[in-house]
Amino acid sequence: MTFTWADGRRLAWNSIHRLFRRCGAAVLLGALFLTWPAIFNGFPLLYPDSMTYLGDGPTVARAVFLHRFSQYYGVRSFFYSLGILPFHWNITAWPVVGLQCLLVAWVVWLAVRSISTRQVAARYLVLMFLLSLFTSVSWYCSFIMPDILGPLVYLAFFLLVFARQTLARAERWGLYLLAWWGITAHASHFLLAGALCALLAAIAACQRRTFVSRLRSLGEVAAIVALAAAAQMALHGYLYGKPSLNGERPPYLMARIIADGPGRWYLEKHCDKGQWAVCNRFRQLSDNPDDLLWGDESAYRVGSEVDREREVREEMPLVLATVRAYPREQFFKSAANFRDQLRAFGPYGFDPSPWILAEFNHVLPGARANFVKSRQEREALSLDQMDEIQWWTVIVALAVIAVGIVLLWWRRSPRLGVLSLVVAAMVLANSAVTGVLSVVDDRYGCRVIWLVPLLAGLFVLDWLEGRRTKKELHPSAC
pLDDT tens by residue, 110-157 = 999 999 888 889 999 999 999 999 999 999 999 999 999 999 999 999
pLDDT grade, residue 11 (50/70/90)?
very low
Q: What is the pLDDT of residue 477?
A: 43
Q: How many percent of the chain have pLDDT more than 90?
A: 59
The number of residues in the chain equals 478
Residues 206 and 75 both lie in one domain = yes
Amino acid present at 439: V
**For 149-208, what is each residue's pLDDT tens digit?**
999 999 999 999 999 999 999 999 999 999 999 999 999 999 999 999 999 999 998 887
Residues 243 and 147 both lie in one domain = yes
Q: What is the mean pLDDT of residues 218-247?
A: 92
More confident residue, 432 or 2: 432
What is the C-alpha to C-alpha distance for residues 6 and 226, in angstroms, rounded to an integer?
45
Residues 218 and 267 both lie in one domain = no
Q: What is the pLDDT of residue 3?
A: 44
pLDDT at 2 over 80: no
Cβ 445 vs Cβ 344: under 8 Å: yes
**Considering the domain boundaries, does residue 332 fall inside one?**
no
Q: What is the mean pLDDT of residues 249-255?
A: 84
Cβ 457 vs Cβ 127: under 8 Å: yes
Residues 265 and 365 both lie in one domain = no
What phi and psi values does residue 312 have, to the nearest 5 degrees? -65, -40
Burial class (CB in 10 A: 0-12, 13-18, 19+), 264: middle
What is the C-alpha to C-alpha distance for residues 203 and 211, in angstroms, rounded to an integer?
9
Q: In angstroms, what is the C-alpha Rg of the chain?
A: 24
Least confident of 37-41, 82-86, 341-345: 341-345
What is the C-alpha to C-alpha distance for residues 475 and 472, in angstroms, rounded to an integer?
6
Cβ 193 vs Cβ 199: under 8 Å: no
Amino acid present at 162: F
Number of domains in the chain: 2
Q: What is the pLDDT of residue 348?
A: 66
pLDDT at 361 over 60: yes
Residues 237 and 357 both lie in one domain = yes
**Considering the domain boundaries, does residue 173 fall inside one?**
yes
Q: Torsion over CA of 443, 195, 128 and 118, rounded to 10 degrees?
A: -170
pLDDT at 322 over 80: yes
Residues 158 and 207 both lie in one domain = yes
Q: What is the pLDDT of residue 53?
A: 95
**Considering the domain boundaries, does residue 410 fall inside one?**
yes
Residues 83 and 169 both lie in one domain = yes
Q: Which of 297, 325, 353 marks a domain boundary?
A: 325
**Considering the domain boundaries, does residue 207 fall inside one?**
yes
**Considering the domain boundaries, does residue 157 fall inside one?**
yes
Q: What is the mean pLDDT of residues 311-335?
A: 91
User: Cα separations (Å) of 198 from 164, 219, 423, 427?
Assistant: 18, 11, 14, 16
Apex CA 111: angle with CA 204 and CA 197, to 5°?
35
Least confident of 240-244, 287-291, 448-452: 287-291
**Partner residues linked to 45 by β-bridges:** 143
Looking at residue 436, the DSSP 8-state letter turns out to be I
- DSSP-based helix, strand, coil % in the chain, nearest 5: 80, 0, 20
Q: What is the pLDDT of residue 1?
A: 47
pLDDT at 332 over 60: yes
Cβ 97 vs Cβ 141: under 8 Å: yes
Q: 190-201 b/e with 16+ CB inside 10 Å = b?
A: bbbbbbbbebbb
Residues 282 and 237 both lie in one domain = no
Domain around 9: 5-249+343-468
Residues 416 and 463 both lie in one domain = yes
Q: Which of 325, 353, 380 marks a domain boundary?
A: 325
Q: Which of 281, 298, 325 marks a domain boundary?
A: 325
**Considering the domain boundaries, does residue 271 fall inside one?**
yes
**Partner residues linked to 74 by β-bridges:** none
**Considering the domain boundaries, does residue 476 fall inside one?**
no
Residues 198 and 228 both lie in one domain = yes
Sign of dihedral through CA atoms 285, 288, 290, 294? Answer: negative
Q: What is the pLDDT of residue 296?
A: 61
Q: What is the pLDDT of residue 295?
A: 67
What is the C-alpha to C-alpha distance for residues 246 and 254, in angstroms, rounded to an integer?
15
Q: What is the pLDDT of residue 470?
A: 57
Q: 98-109 b/e with 16+ CB inside 10 Å = b?
A: bbbbbbbbbbbb
Cβ 320 vs Cβ 253: under 8 Å: no
**For 19-48, what is each residue's pLDDT tens digit?**
455 678 899 999 999 999 999 999 999 999
Residues 224 and 263 both lie in one domain = no
Cβ 127 vs Cβ 133: under 8 Å: no
What is the C-alpha to C-alpha distance for residues 114 and 163, in angstroms, rounded to an integer?
6
Terminal-to-terminal C-alpha distance of the chain:
42
Residues 237 and 258 both lie in one domain = no
Q: How many percent of the chain have pLDDT more than 70?
A: 87
Give the H/E segment covering residue 276. none
Nearest residue to 456 via CA among 373, 382, 374, 395 = 395
**Considering the domain boundaries, does residue 166 fall inside one?**
yes
Q: What is the pLDDT of residue 12?
A: 44
